[in-house]
Structures are given as C-alpha cells and as structure tokens.
Amino acid sequence: MAVRDALLVLLVNGPAYGFQLHGDLAARTGGRRVVNAGQTYATLDRLTTQGLVEPAGSTDDGLPLHRLTPAGRVAADAWLSGADGAGADPWHESVDRVLIAVSMPSVDAEPVIDAERERWRRRRDRAGASAAAGGRAGDADPRARLAAAATTAEIARADAMLAWLGGIVASDLDAAAFAPSTERPRRGRRPARPRTGAEDHASADA
C-alpha cells in the first residue's frame, strides 16, 4: 500500500493533522506500516498539489488540518474497492485494505472483505487453469516444469489468503474498529512563523 493511498483513506474519517495521520497509519495496520514522519508530510503536500487534499483550517494550537477534496474521496473509495496501487503486491494490498477497513467505523468492512474473497478466488481459478494447461505440455521441458511449480505456489498463496479472509468473524469487526485518536501530539508540523523586522535586524547584527 502506497502512503498516498493510506493517507487518502484515513482522511475518510474527517479532517486531521499530519502527525495524527502518521500515527493512525501504524495503529490501523497493526504496526505493519510504519513510515517516516517526513514522508507523511511530503505526501500530504503532493496530494494537496494534485487536488486530492485541501487545507481545512487548524487545531486550537496551530496544527494545520487536511481534508479530502471530492476527487480525493473518489481515489480513496477506489482503493477500498480493490484498485491496487501501481506495482504493488496484491497480497500486501489485500491485507492492508482489510486491516484499515475493519479499523474504521466510517467504512463498512464486510463488502471490502467479500470483494477481496472474490478477487482471490478468481486468482486461484486462473492459476489452476494455467497449471492444467502446463500439465498437458508434458514433463519433457524443464522450463514447463518450473513454470508449473510457480503456478502451484500461486494457488497455495491464493488458498492462504482465502483462509485468512475466511477466519475473519463478526466479533473481529466489532473489536477492531476505533475512532481517530483525540490525544494531542507532543510534536507536529506547524506553519512557519513569519520573521519580524526586529528579528531580521538581530540576525544581521549577530
């Protein structure tokens, strides 16, 4: 899961400041996704430039708040609906998508999980068809045997994901969801304070 996708989905919960989003990502993925705080802020800046996120005022103590634009909400919904990031591993995308969905009270996780099951069933069926075709090619070609072994591994991977998804029960959905933290951060990026003329003179005299 790209940090871009993560921040967009987390903002479905409502406006948030950068360090709040930074901690929320780690919490909602069970510690799987821990990124540098600077990467979080840089990604928010890019999302703002791209028109997916916009300023939403600030907290009482001056931390800038961010919120989704309509285009950002479309992008967030697309990822939750199964649009994997470019070059991303489907396994990690599925795990992260489910973990985030079940953690967010504002997201109905059951359709997300059902859609993941259907995608992995299709992957397993395609791999099974490929394995059958490879078997008909015979065992004479070593490359065919290696390809068949790789396809068998793909089937096993799909079965493992389906087993994980099948093990998610209603009590997991109830227990995993939590609202965004209201705890104030000890640090966070605040807007740079404009220098005063007196400070400029003091700097020049130093």
- Band of the pLDDT at 198, cuts 50, 70, 90? low
Q: How confident is the model at residue 2 (pLDDT cuts 50, 70, 90)?
A: confident
Burial level of 94, CB count in 10 A (0-12/13-18/19+)?
Answer: buried
Is the model's pLDDT at 203 over the cut of 50?
Answer: no
Identify which of 42-56, 79-93, 133-147 has the greatest average pLDDT: 42-56
Q: Is the pLDDT of residue 13 over 70?
A: yes
Residue where the block lists tokens 């800046």: 45
Q: How far apart are CA 37 and CA 18, in angstroms?
A: 8
- pLDDT score, position 186: 52
Mean pLDDT check: name the lowest of 20-24, 105-109, 199-203: 199-203
Q: Are 11 and 76 in contact (CB under 8 A)?
A: yes
Structure token digits, residue 30: 């069970």
The Cα–Cα gap between 181 and 63 comes to: 15
φ and ψ at 81, to 5 degrees? -85, 0
Q: Is the pLDDT of residue 177 over 50?
A: yes
Element (H, E) at 132: helix 109-136
Q: What is the pLDDT of residue 17?
A: 92
Mean pLDDT of the chain: 84
* 41 band by pLDDT with thresholds 50, 70 and 90: very high
Residue 138 has pLDDT above 60, yes or no: no
Task: Give residue for tokens 């504002």.
Answer: 106
The 10 Å Cβ neighbour count of residue 59 is 16
| Cα(45)–Cα(192) distance, integer angstroms | 15
In one-letter notation, the amino acid at residue 125 is: D
Q: Which of 13-17, 72-76, 170-174 has the lowest mean pLDDT?
A: 170-174
Q: Are 33 and 25 in contact (CB under 8 A)?
A: yes
Asked whether the CA dihedral 105, 41, 44, 100 is positive or negative, the reply is negative
Q: What is the pLDDT of residue 14?
A: 93
Pairwise pLDDT comparison (11 vs 173), residue with the higher score: 11
Residue 65 in tokens: 């708040």
Write out pLDDT tens, residues 46-86: 999 999 999 999 988 889 999 999 999 999 999 999 988 77
Once rounded to an integer, what is the mean pLDDT over residues 151-178? 88
Q: Report residue 54: phi and psi, to 5°.
A: -140, 160
